């Protein structure tokens, strides 16, 4: 099967090279921007791909919702299988693309959009057919895991680890999507859609690591905790729950052995029990390998990652409750239900009574609206 | 698709129940022994299943090579998909069954035979199509992991943890296959066959945990090591390497967080990097969930787990070398190349110079032939 590639950046180069060696797959044309055409296999117009009858599948690794969506829709309408690593595209337009793919009887797969090289969505899609998925989530952003790990093991400041991550290519020049938790949130949205047939939209909560300090990390560490940015999802009565927040884990928990920019995805099946998958969450070769696995899956007959009748739905996070570690200005300590608290100069570090996730996220937003510096993380005993 | 089940023991009951709830699958007849027929859905002759045109697939969970092989061959010849959890069957007769399945255009899948609920072989089969699998292995036997974990965390003797494991249903009345490493060896044979198209036969090495003592475990633990029974496999120049032996891992290694009867399978892809999968390796529901995942895979178009042109081949373990921890009678300490050694009464505990795996396994066999009590474990720094 000849595969066209949309985009020839870090991942696109990897996909193109892997296509040259994979069983049953073949390098097709590569779409680049007009000024970037410097080789015969490159084309500059999507029509050259969509109208090429020798192209059986299209792999999109450009990123962004447009023009990726228009290209994807055109490829599927033309009866070509479509595979993507683009989580923004699938989170925004997954239901529309899935509908076209089903109508045309072609594949729409996107393993690489969640977990990079970790084969999470593929396994989730298979497991949900016979097992009831009770919950899912994990460490789904490698950039922030690299940063938290370096802060803890090398005792570095947030600003320094961010610069290191950018220098190593783990963080973008604008790191907002990673460090705010938005990237992990998009991934847990996709996982919920695959597992439950509900693509969550409104009501999502995400807290990142932008406000963590070296002093916070030293504080956790001295008490036997490791901080990780964790995405959590599952089935609630009326729909799904899905949120992202920093979590403090007891040393020895499996998440603590996930170092550097690795990802760890997990699901809990009623029958299978807890299934954990660990691997590189980003980078040229891990992400390209996930795109290639989807393409090999198409050759083996795989067509759908989303279940039939996928719908968009509101998130219901009301049942999720945790105790939180919160660092906030000492004069605001009375605003939260503290179970224990200690003063450290003009800041207070507290452990709260168990609180609804939404209550904690809203309280932090409100305090920040008043100019306060706040960091919080759920405590998992 | 209606699925017949061969065997109605621990796993068979689980498979039958899950079939009642899975998408696109349906409960078919269950084969039991003549004296065990106590319900209308049970049959006592394989012909009733093979000749039933409404049965689309057969799931075998009886164990043992015969009559499982005759039943499997008959089902495949009759054009029915065949799924099994039976590692002894696939290790002994995998190539023959694969050939019949390919000739008839039906599926032959056996995820549940390696890793229980952990989706190892399925992912390996997909990954090898586009990536080069450098090595594979892990903790593939839950019984011995439960025992080693209990010895380390609860400071129990080997005999006591074995009794506990039997009481909990983790170990058989005759635990030899588990504690000798043979069960893990069969699983790494299957993984090598899936990844490399070579089912290793002669030249396999396996050391179990039968000779470990509470004193050994206390010794490792005081030096910051955790012992796990690890299966190792990979590609060598002329074929594959595959062996099973206890390994001492530095505390903090990912294997150390694999507790109780969990399994941890991993592979290293040239592009994907290290992919680790953790879950329950045995038990009714985890194993049944793996059988059901294979059946759902058939509905999605999956047919083969082994690559085409599977062959049997000799193992070449000559390139693998490690330092070993060895405990042996003090008077025999001179028989091995010690890097360091300490006397503890009439036993010697040594760390050897790096040695070929085969040299260590053969030396231990030779010393035991002379009546010596010997325990050894590779040291991974």
Is the Cβ pair A301, B296 closer than 8 Å? no
Task: Give B251 or B274, the one with higher predicted confidence.
Answer: B274
If one counts every other C-beta atom within 10 angstroms of the C-beta of residue A366, the result is 12
Residue ranges of the alpha helices (H) in chain B? 10-19, 46-50, 68-77, 87-104, 120-127, 142-154, 158-167, 176-179, 182-196, 214-222, 284-299, 357-369
Query: Mean pLDDT across the stretch B293-312?
Result: 95
How sure is the predictor about B186, in pLDDT bands with cuts at 50, 70 and 90? very high
Question: Considering A80, A87, A187, A235, which one is annotated as catalytic?
Answer: A187
ipTM reported for the complex, 2 dp: 0.93
Kindly list the residues from chain B whose CB atom is less than 8 angstroms away from the CB atom of residue A130: 18, 21-23, 25, 289, 292-293, 295-296
Is the Cβ pair A130, B21 closer than 8 Å? yes
Nearest to A257 among B252, B275, B301 (CB): B252
Residue A316: the pLDDT is 87
Give the C-alpha separation, A30 to A7, whole Å.
Answer: 7
Q: pLDDT of chain A along its 381 residues, tens only? A: 999 999 999 999 999 999 999 999 999 999 999 988 999 999 999 999 999 999 999 999 999 999 999 999 999 999 999 999 999 999 999 999 999 999 999 999 999 999 989 999 999 999 999 999 999 999 999 999 999 999 999 999 999 999 999 998 888 889 999 999 999 999 999 999 999 999 988 888 999 999 999 999 999 999 999 999 999 999 877 779 999 999 999 987 889 989 999 999 999 999 999 999 999 988 899 999 999 999 999 999 999 999 998 999 888 888 889 999 999 999 999 999 999 999 999 999 999 999 999 999 999 999 999 999 999 999 998
If one counts every other C-beta atom within 10 angstroms of the C-beta of residue A161, the result is 24
Residue A177: the pLDDT is 94
Is the Cβ pair B280, A274 closer than 8 Å? yes
Kindly list the residues from chain B whose CB atom is less than 8 angstroms away from the CB atom of residue A254: 254, 257, 278
Task: Give B201 or A45, the one with higher predicted confidence.
Answer: A45
Among B271, B290, B301, B302, most A C-beta atoms within 10 A, so best to mutate, is B271
Kindly list the residues from chain B whose CB atom is less than 8 angstroms away from the CB atom of residue A277: 275-278
Residue B202: the pLDDT is 80
Q: Which positions ≥6 away from B185 have C-beta within 8 Å? A: B204, B206, B231, B242, B243, B244
- Rounded to the nearest angstrom, the minimum Cα separation between B129 and chain A is 5
User: Over 90: is that where the pLDDT of B282 sits?
Assistant: no
Query: Mean pLDDT across the stretch B263-272?
Result: 97
If one counts every other C-beta atom within 10 angstroms of the C-beta of residue A114, the result is 30
> What domains sit in chain A, N to C, each tagged with a CATH number?
2-109 (3.40.50.720), 132-281 (3.30.360.10), 321-380 (3.30.70)
B283 DSSP 8-state letter: S
pTM: 0.94
Summarised one tens digit per residue, pLDDT across range B95-136 is 999 999 999 999 999 999 999 899 999 999 999 999 999 999
Kindly list the residues from chain A whose CB atom is less than 8 angstroms away from the CB atom of residue B122: 123, 126
Q: Identify the residue whose tokens are 């899609």.
A: A125
Active-site annotation holds for B187: yes
Q: Are A184 and A141 in contact (CB under 8 A)?
A: yes
Among A272, A278, A291, A307, most B C-beta atoms within 10 A, so best to mutate, is A272
- With 0-12 / 13-18 / 19 or more C-beta atoms within 10 angstroms meaning exposed / middle / buried, residue B372 is middle
Task: Give B148 or A316, the one with higher predicted confidence.
Answer: B148
Query: A255 phi and psi, to 5 degrees?
Result: -60, -30
Residue A276: the pLDDT is 96
If one counts every other C-beta atom within 10 angstroms of the C-beta of residue A33, the result is 11
Among B17, B112, B127, B129, most A C-beta atoms within 10 A, so best to mutate, is B129
User: Over 90: is that where the pLDDT of B317 sits?
Assistant: no
Query: Mean pLDDT across the stretch B246-272?
Result: 93
User: Over 80: is that where the pLDDT of B237 sits?
Assistant: no
Residue A21: the pLDDT is 97
User: Over 90: is that where the pLDDT of B354 sits?
Assistant: yes
């Amino acid at each position: 099967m000849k595969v066209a590639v949309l985009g020839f950046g870090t991942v696109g180069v990897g996909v193109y090279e892997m296509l040259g060696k994979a069983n049953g797959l073949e390098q097709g044309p590569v779409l680049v921007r007009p000024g970037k055409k410097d080789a015969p296999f490159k084309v500059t117009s999507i029509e050259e791909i969509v109208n090429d009858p020798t192209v059986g599948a299209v792999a999109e690794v450009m990123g962004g919702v447009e023009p990726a969506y228009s290209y994807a829709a055109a490829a599927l309408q033309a009866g070509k299988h479509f595979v993507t690593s683009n989580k923004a595209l699938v989170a925004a337009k997954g239901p529309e693309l899935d509908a076209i793919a089903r109508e045309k009887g072609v594949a729409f797969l996107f393993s690489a959009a969640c977990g990079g090289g970790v084969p999470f969505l593929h396994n989730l899609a298979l497991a949900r057919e016979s097992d009831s998925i009770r919950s899912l989530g994990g460490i789904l952003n490698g950039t922030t895991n690299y940063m938290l790990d370096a802060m803890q093991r090398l005792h570095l400041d947030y600003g320094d680890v961010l610069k290191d991550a950018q220098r190593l290519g783990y963080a973008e020049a604008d790191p907002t999507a990673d460090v705010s938790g938005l990237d992990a949130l998009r991934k847990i949205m996709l996982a919920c859609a695959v597992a439950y047939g509900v693509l969550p939209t409104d009501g999502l909560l995400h807290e990142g690591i932008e406000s963590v300090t070296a002093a916070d990390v030293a504080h956790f560490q001295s008490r036997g905790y490791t901080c990780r940015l964790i995405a959590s999802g599952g089935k609630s009565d009326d729909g799904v729950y899905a949120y992202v927040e920093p979590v403090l884990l007891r040393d020895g928990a499996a998440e603590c052995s996930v170092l550097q920019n690795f990802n760890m995805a997990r699901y809990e099946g009623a029958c299978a029990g807890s299934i954990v998958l660990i691997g590189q969450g980003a980078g040229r070769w891990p992400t390209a390998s996930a795109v290639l696995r989807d393409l090999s899956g198409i050759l083996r007959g795989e067509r759908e990652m989303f279940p039939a009748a996928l719908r968009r739905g509101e998130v219901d996070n009301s049942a999720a409750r945790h105790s939180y570690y919160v660092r906030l200005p000492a004069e605001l300590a009375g605003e939260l239900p503290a179970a224990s608290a200690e003063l450290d100069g003009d800041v207070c570090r507290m452990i709260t009574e168990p609180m609804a996730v939404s209550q904690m996220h809203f309280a932090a937003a409100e305090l920040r609206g008043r100019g306060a510096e706040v960091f919080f993380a759920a405590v998992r005993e």
